[in-house]
Amino acid sequence: MLVKDTIIDIQATSNTRIKEVDFNNIPFGRVFSDHMFVMDYKDGAWHDPQIVEFSNISMHPAASVIHYGQSIFEGMKAFKNPSGEIFVFRPEMNAQRFNDSAKRMCMPEVNAELFVEAIHELVKLDRNWVSDAPGSSLYIRPYMFATDEYIGVKPSETYRMMIFTCPVNAYYTGAVKVKVETHYTRSVPGGTGFAKAAGNYAASLFPAKLAQEEGYHQLLWTDSQEHKWIEESGTMNVVFRIGDTLISPKPSETILDGITRDSVLQLAKDWGYKVEYRKISTDEIKEAYENGLLREAFGAGTAATIAPIEVIGFDDMQCKLTPFESWDFAPKALAEMDALKRGLQPDPHNWNHQVI
Ligand SMILES: Cc1ncc(COP(=O)(O)O)c(C=O)c1O
């Protein structure tokens, strides 16, 4: 772990690429800002945190991450308002989750204050890459991977942590159709489902591709033993409104505990909605739908904030929900979250960190 007063060596480049970027037309995740954070771990400690010009990195062909997959990441966003103020949303939660992931993957933890400070410094330096256009933001990707030059199955003794950022536009792609998965499994008790481990995503690609071939956008994962209890969607937690209650699967070792869901459901509580974190079965959803009580269903995650679900496909039936615009909670929560993240709303929970 690093000592509290570690100083990040900032080497700003004068070589900006920003003029090449058409901010009205940015493909998600393919445009990268001018700088990146880099820090290496060896001899039992993190060394030399620095911010340098964004560039390729070179790796040894035997780098341990390529063979045995010790790799974790985080995802978060910075937002700018029309007055030019920039905020990041609850970054200390990402730092905590990064360290929870690191522990599970037998990787070294990072000082949470340094994690947050690195993000502040990086965003400050690339402040011109954050657009204040509605829906736009700067996506921030912290990650860590094993770098030992050795092919043996054991925890690496060296690691690299990096952070880069990408300007992104509004993500809204319309309501999503999700397929309830009853054969493949994302996560098992005792496994790595709660961690943001790269391999979790690799393992989900094939089942998701099969669902896409059937016309769905994403999977709705169920538990590994009975395929009966709802867990989460590809990169989002899920929330159902049955009658007047908002229900979401309880945080557990098989689910990634999302910061967006936590925030949205806190807003719901603030507004007087009944909120339950508990097990929810596929039968309960079908029954609620048949009785006209399934009033809203949405995914919650950094990328989409709130993604309305229009179709839930089960093996034996499809639930088609009413249009998002007619719901009373999710559209209001989406607008509130956007205003909050841009510092345009009082922030009673002190979620926002102002960067500039
Ligand atoms: C598997 C999974 N579940 C849920 C989420 C939502 O988490 P958050 O709201 O912190 O972005 C994500 C995205 O990070 C994810 O990858």
192 Cβ closer than 6 Å to some ligand 1 atom: no
Q: Are residues 197 and 274 in the same domain?
A: yes
Return the CATH number at 106.
Answer: 3.30.470.10
Mean pLDDT computed over every residue of the chain: 96
Identify the band that residue 216 occupies on the pLDDT scale cut at 50, 70 and 90: very high
Q: What is the pLDDT of residue 5?
A: 58
CA distance 241 to 42: 49
- Has residue 3 got a pLDDT over 50? no
Return the CATH number at 283.
Answer: 3.20.10.10
Q: Are residues 211 and 164 in the same domain?
A: no
Q: Are residues 116 and 230 in the same domain?
A: no
For residue 345, what is the enclosing H or E element?
none
Q: What is the pLDDT of residue 4?
A: 52
Calculate what percentage of the chain has a pLDDT beyond 90.
Answer: 96
294 Cβ closer than 6 Å to some ligand 1 atom: no
Q: How far, in Å, from the CA of 91 to the mean position of ligand 1?
A: 14
258 Cβ closer than 6 Å to some ligand 1 atom: yes
Q: Are residues 130 and 261 in the same domain?
A: no
pTM to 2 decimal places = 0.97
Cα end-to-end span (Å), the chain: 28
142 Cβ closer than 6 Å to some ligand 1 atom: no
- Minimum mean pLDDT among 5-19, 106-120, 210-224, 260-274: which range? 5-19
Q: Are residues 252 and 160 in the same domain?
A: no
Q: How far, in Å, from the CA of 13 to the mean position of ligand 1?
A: 32
Best of 98, 141, 260 for a ligand 1 pocket test (most atoms within 8 Å of beta carbon): 260
Q: Is residue 54 included in any domain, yes or no? A: yes
CA distance 331 to 295: 13
Q: How far, in Å, from the CA of 75 to the mean position of ligand 1?
A: 8
Query: Of 125, 148, 168, which closes a domain?
Result: 168
Q: Which domain, by its residues, includes 189?
A: 176-341
Q: How far, in Å, from the CA of 176 to the mean position of ligand 1?
A: 16
Q: Are residues 148 and 239 in the same domain?
A: no
Q: What is the pLDDT of residue 1?
A: 38
Residue ranges with strand state E in 135-291: 137-146, 159-168, 176-180, 218-222, 230-233, 237-242, 245-248, 274-277
Q: Is residue 132 included in any domain, yes or no? A: yes
Q: What is the pLDDT of residue 2?
A: 43
Identify the band that residue 170 occupies on the pLDDT scale cut at 50, 70 and 90: confident
Number of domains comprising the chain: 2
CA distance 214 to 159: 40
Q: Are residues 160 and 16 in the same domain?
A: yes
Packed helices 259-270 and 330-341: angle between N→C axes, nearest 10 degrees = 110
Q: Is residue 1 included in any domain, yes or no? A: no
> What number does the ligand 1 atom closest to the CA of 74 have?
14
Q: How far, in Å, from the CA of 7 to the mean position of ligand 1?
A: 30
Identify the band that residue 207 occupies on the pLDDT scale cut at 50, 70 and 90: very high
Using only C-alpha atoms, the chain has a radius of gyration, in whole angstroms, of 21
User: Which residue's CA is minimally distant from atom 1 of ligand 1?
Assistant: 235
